[in-house]
Amino acid sequence: MCEFKVYLKKENHEETVAEDILYAKKTDGKIILKPILGNQVTVDNAEIIEVDVEAERLILSPINHQH
């Protein structure tokens, strides 16, 4: 089975958000992440920018709302 490590990409680095994630869904500007064990993780104002199954990495990026 393939469990992902999830990172939030910031300007020049990546911050670990969650590990052992089996499920990810974007809904209403949020990313819902469900791990094997434990509680669901929600990342607000983010989008999925990369999924790398071979490396078991899922990369998120903040959504910048500019008015």
Interval 3-55: pLDDT, tens: 999 999 988 899 999 999 999 999 988 999 999 998 999 999 999 999 999 99
Count CB atoms within 10 A of the CB of residue 4. Answer: 22
Question: Are the C-beta atoms of 57 and 42 separated by less than 8 Å?
Answer: no
pTM above 0.95, yes or no: no
